[in-house]
Structure 1
Amino acid sequence: MSRIGKHPVAVPAGVDVKIDGKVVSVKGKLGQLSLTLVDDVSAELADGKVVVKPANDSRRAYTMWATSRTLVNNMVKGVADGYTVNLEINGVGYRAAVQGKELVMQLGFSHDVKYPIPEGIAIKCDKPTSITITGFDKQKVGQVAAEIRGWKKPEPYKGKGIKYDNETILRKEGKKK
């Protein structure tokens, strides 16, 4: 039995959840998201909570039970509060700034790296060495953060590159004479 799946998803005030067959739609102050559940899982709205249950006793139903519940929970939390990922830039001359609808980064290349900001995502650079990515879709926020980090991953010798603020870089010792 799933330990995560058996807990219902609480719907906070200001969030509207509609279940139409296999489609779960969530609307809140930050935006609107929808999810199509797999055939092996069903969802229902009861007492202001979304209850996700397996439709049958198959292995796939039990596998997708907790996954579907977590996806619904992420949608509800996203439209109510939103998600934030912070990135830090380390390195001499490495910096970032938002110009219009683009994130412009100097990362030691011969040219500036221009990253177009997707719809539904907000990027702020309070300092030239910090990037804050916010949005209501957890998957999209994480994907944007991973793409930005992918331009210059942190290296283990000097720690130069773009890293998550809670990430620890394992440092290596340099060459010896």
Structure 2
Amino acid sequence: MLARLQHSGEVRLPGRLHHGAHAEGQAGGLRGPRRPRARRLALRSALRGLLTAGLVSLALVGSARGHSLLLESAPAADATLATAPAQLVLRFNNRIEKSLSRVRVLDARGVAQPLVVNAAAGSADRLVATVPPLAPGAWTVLWQVLSTDGHVVSGRFEFRVGP
């Protein structure tokens, strides 16, 4: 069962993994010379990339966390109401400075209707305004609030009164 190689004078066992100079190129054989410096550089680059990505994502999350986001409204965005609402309620994801916030309701021509914002009504994350009688048609709500982090945030949505 021993096979003698003619060119090297080595004895090889059939079906076995052989070590030595020729084993490097064989499937399942030994690896070539190690390059620890290249591996270390690649590992450092990968870690540096992961660290940079993590820091960027933390910075983005941290900067957006304090901003007020509109969670819900009454009337709801794109709602069709049978009758005009008596009040408008906007609920945000965190506290707002009510006295420095404002809301307007515009008709289809862009004419603003007078609203009375009640700073004492509702919790600290809600803006409540008394709405005058509205005619049937499309209405646009424009809002602007001051977040407790000092940033001004604004938005808009529409609703419809009548058929």
Q: Under TM normalisation by the shorter chain, which class is it? A: under 0.3
**Which structure: larger Rg?**
2
Which structure shows the higher strand fraction?
1
